[in-house]
Chain A
Amino acid sequence: MTSFDAIVIGAGHNGLAAATRLAKGGRRVLVLEAANEPGGATRGREFSPGFRSAGLAHLVNRLDAEVAKDIGLDLKGHETLLPTTVLDGSGKAITLNGAYGESIDGVSAEEQAAFAAMRKKLIFQAGILKRFLRRPPPQIGAVSLGDLSTLAGAGLSLIRKGRSEGRDFLRMLLMNVADVTDEYLTDDRLKGLLAFDATLGIHLGPRSPTSLLGLYYRLTGDVAGRTGGQFVPSGGMASIAPAFRSAAEKAGVTIRCATPVARILADRGRASGVVLGDGTEITAPVVVSAVHPQTTFLRLVDPAESGTGFVRSVKNVRSHGNVAKLDLALDRIPDFTGLPAEARNGRIVLVRSKEQVETAFNPAKYGEFSTDPVMEITLPSLSDPSLAPSGACTLSALVQYAPYRLKAGWEHGKPAFLKIVLEVLERNAPGIGKSILAANLMTPVDIEAEYNLPGGHWHHGELQADQLLVNRPTGAASGYKTPIEGLYLASAGAHPGGGISGLPGWNAARHILSGATA
């Protein structure tokens, strides 16, 4: 039997990015995946006969170019950025073109200028935070030279723009997105879009303190160097998982699917391998867990191998999803009122105002779903016709808020919530209801079951101030290394967080290859 230098648990895109980097660094790497195919949350599935969904994500907006180049990822299509269209039901659309609204249609010239000013400000500020994404978070108590240069770089870029810019950054950093939009904008729909983008996938409303961080996070992503851009690869989202897979295999990584890991072997603070579901033991000096940190430390590692305080902090990681994923099989392409034809292949956001987002959040605080939810929609079969029979169409929507812990229970809640979601769609695309052949709504509970994601949270833990950087997922495991020697974290639960970026996995692999012990 072949022996391996490293075992990566989970063939999500971060697991594969980590494995590929390790293999390119000369390590013999084995990736173990519980599902029948690699891809994790980008793993496609047939949700109705003849109709496929490409997985949880329906757009790419933060795939790191350096990671893609380094691991040899063969994905095309990033030269075409997709627009975002806001629909409020009035029939008058706003369309943001280019990278996060380099130009806007549908608002007054004054509003266009105001948006441009705000966009510039936010992209500048997000750029300061972006410096921290490609390296491990600084380790408190053991700050390295590299950490200092990153911090100094961030400081310098602030000062370069003058003292008032620095002051404004510190003023805005922990603000709520609603107040920031009020400072710049007048159009309710635009404010609504920013409120939605800042809170999508996060348990915050636009008026919650620190909610601006979610928007910053979005704007730390770029496509081909264009901040805030979004695209769908040629061949559709379904081509992402195979691209990561073939990059890994080309680098010499062995991938075994349908091979769930039951336990991580550890003794007296040192990991030594894994035990598979069938009892087989595979040993390796390095174990990289590219699954949720809570799965890692509460299920796979014997809690006796961790300290009580550490287990306590891992249990306290907030990771309850708020977003439901809807896949619709339609017998024709839907007709959204006011949607320009050329924006049909982009992102459609159904939101009227930031107040609507805030009101949608309110019930989520008390374990209830929104009765007037907000959502973003794509029509995946337009870019990947293989997803639907000829002439038919698929619709993918991320709908919030749909709290993981629904008071009434999702068995009862799901049909009621689906009905509400379909009503919202009907208002914006009259006639869509009649064209639905199949509807598949995944609540966070379903997402948890389908993708082994505790809490059904695709970021593997809330992206909020207290769970970022040196606290992601928790202090003692924030630098990819963990209290257990030889065990590393490489999922979205690690820095810098979720979305298809490849960075957590790639950073983790680089950390391992650097031989750093701190």
Chain B
Amino acid sequence: MNAMTKSAADLRRAARDHIRVPRLETPFHERLMAISEVNDWYNWAGYKAPHSLTDGELEYFAIRSTAALFDISPMVKYRIAGPDAERYLNRLTLRDVRKLGVNRVHYTAWCDDHGHVLDDGTLFRLGEQEFRVCCQERHLPWLLDSAFGFTVDIREETEEIAGLALQGPTSYAVLRDAGFAGVERLKPFDIATFPHEGGEVTISRTGFTGDLGYELFVPRARALSLWDRLWAAGELHAIRAIGYGALNQTRIEAGFIVANADFMTAEAALRADRVRMPDEIGLDWLVDPDKPNFNGRRAILDARRNQTLKHILVGLEIEGNISAEHAIVYHRQKHEAGLVTAATWSPTAKRNIAIASLERPYGSKFTEDLWVEIYAMRELKYQKMMKRAKIVPRPFVKLPRRTATPPGLK
């Protein structure tokens, strides 16, 4: 073995080094680690993320009563820029991007040629020709292949951009006291940039809780100083760092769905019947047949015309207070009608709520006499309960403070 081959082998070994870090740490990990009392971590897109940090219940009430700080850095982020960026995204996604103003955000989804949803996410218009897509799954090959014929630059920026969600009734007060002057002017889905540590932080009035709240994006290098700035200002506003458990409760209350939890994304689904069209997961309102052609358009409109849609997503209110997560839904206690994909007791609504995927005509034609079968593990024995379920509109919790502008302080 000579020096040349040795160095080639070293290079190969170095390229394999990622296996030494099976879980990446987010830019805020140091702070989270210092706070965490329960060491309850889970894997979010390859990152170590807290399921909870102190106490799930306290974390939930931080979101609904004070201010909660949630690390969203693992969210997959793509920067899409160039003269054709708008046209490109309009072909890629379901909603009309031409209607999305600069410094505005909209929720959207995108499909494959067969109209099956690849993912949902938020689209940030940072400039006339500059966008950021935030989503759950990784799509770079799809995004790059979609770029054929467009003058557009596509870059993944998940690692370099740190993100924080600051949610809850005192979240605006925290930002104000942290010195982000003018943030009160942000209406829901607005974006603005503010100076921070010689650089900039992008703040949008968005979130996944259905509450008053903001999301802050900053380059990785300035992540910790941003955390500290909010933390210091938040002390008097009862700021609390939270994990996914509490956030998940609030997102169910808000009626939001999560990719690969409430529906299978088309590229992740192995079984042919697991993919979903937008109309089958409650996203029909995103589809804009009047805008220029977009991926999946024909398939979606054909399915509507031919009435071949097979599933429907519904909100359920279930009697009792036992969470019905992953329970089977029945019609007349007999015919299997679908599955509960997410469920929780809602402390705010004081209702037992759930999101369920039903097989039509259940949920579309047959909407009465629905039941869920809950298996509650009680000391190594399942307690089986057949509980009445009622289809109710989402969101389960609607808070006026989410949209009030200027926002309230508590």
Contact = CB atoms under 8 A, between A and B. Distances in A.
Given A269-B293, A269-B298, A303 B148 contact: yes
Contacts of A315: 148
A308 B140 CA distance: 13
A446 interface: no
A304 B149 contact: yes
Given A310-B113, A476-B113, A304 B145 contact: no
Most buried by B among A269, A303, A307, A310: A307
Given A308-B113, A315-B148, A483-B113, A268 B292 contact: yes
Given A308-B113, A308-B145, 7 more contacts: A303-B91, A303-B149, A308-B146, A309-B114, A310-B113, A311-B145, A483-B298
A305 to B, nearest CB: 5
A302 interface: yes
Contacts of A267: 292-293
B112 A307 contact: yes
Contact of A304 (B91, B112, B113): B91
Contacts of A250: none
B149 A307 contact: no
Given A267-B293, A268-B292, A312-B145, A307 B87 contact: no
Contact of B295 (A268, A307, A476): A307
Contacts of A306: 293
Interface in B254-303: 289, 292-293, 295-298
A135 to B, nearest CB: 25
A298 interface: yes
Nearest to A304: B91
Interface string A302-337: 111111111110010000000000000000000000
B301 to A, nearest CB: 8
Contacts of B148: 298, 303, 311, 315
18 contacts: A267-B292, A268-B289, A268-B297, A269-B293, A269-B298, A303-B148, A304-B88, A304-B292, A305-B293, A308-B146, A309-B113, A311-B145, A311-B146, A311-B148, A311-B149, A312-B145, A476-B113, A483-B298
A311 B91 CA distance: 13
B119 to A, nearest CB: 13
Given A268-B297, A476-B113, A298 B292 contact: no
B141 to A, nearest CB: 9
B293 A308 contact: no
Given A268-B297, A269-B298, A307 B113 contact: yes
Interface residues of B, number: 21
Interface string A284-316: 000000000000001000111111111110010
A308 B292 contact: no
Contact of B297 (A269, A298, A311): A269
B142 A304 contact: no
Nearest to B301: A269
A298 B295 contact: no
B92 A308 contact: yes
Q: Identify the 5 closest CB pairs spanning chains A and B, nearest first.
A: A303-B149, A307-B113, A309-B113, A308-B146, A304-B91
Interface residues of A, number: 19
B194 interface: no
Interface in B136-157: 142, 145-146, 148-150
Contact of A308 (B90, B112, B298): B112
Most buried by A among B113, B142, B289, B295: B113
Interface string B336-354: 0000000000000000000
A293 to B, nearest CB: 15
Most buried by A among B145, B149, B297: B149
Interface in B53-98: 87-88, 90-92
Given A308-B142, A311-B145, A303 B150 contact: yes
Interface in A257-281: 266-269
Interface string B298-332: 10000000000000000000000000000000000
Interface string B104-131: 0000000011100000000000000000
Contacts of B292: 267-268, 304
A312 B295 CA distance: 12
Contacts of A310: 113
A309 B87 CA distance: 17
A483 B299 CA distance: 10
Contact of A302 (B112, B149, B289): B149
A302 B293 CA distance: 10
Contacts of B112: 307-309
B16 to A, nearest CB: 29
A87 B150 CA distance: 52
Contacts of B297: 268-269
Contacts of A312: 145
Contacts of A307: 112-113, 295-296
Interface in A55-106: none
Nearest to B143: A308
A398 to B, nearest CB: 33
Contacts of A476: 113
A91 B142 CA distance: 59
Given A476-B113, A483-B113, A308 B150 contact: no
A183 to B, nearest CB: 41
A267 B298 CA distance: 12
A305 B146 CA distance: 11
A131 B55 CA distance: 72
Nearest to B92: A308
B117 to A, nearest CB: 14
Interface string A41-58: 000000000000000000
Most buried by A among B88, B148, B289: B148
A487 to B, nearest CB: 13
Given A308-B112, A310-B113, A298 B293 contact: no
Contact of A268 (B87, B113, B142, B293): B293
A269 B294 CA distance: 9
A483 B297 CA distance: 11
Contacts of A483: 113, 298
A30 B293 CA distance: 27
Contacts of A303: 91, 148-150
A305 B87 CA distance: 11
A298 B149 contact: yes
B306 to A, nearest CB: 12
Contacts of B92: 308
A311 B295 CA distance: 11
Contacts of A311: 145-146, 148-149
A461 to B, nearest CB: 18
B120 to A, nearest CB: 17
Most buried by B among A267, A309, A476: A309
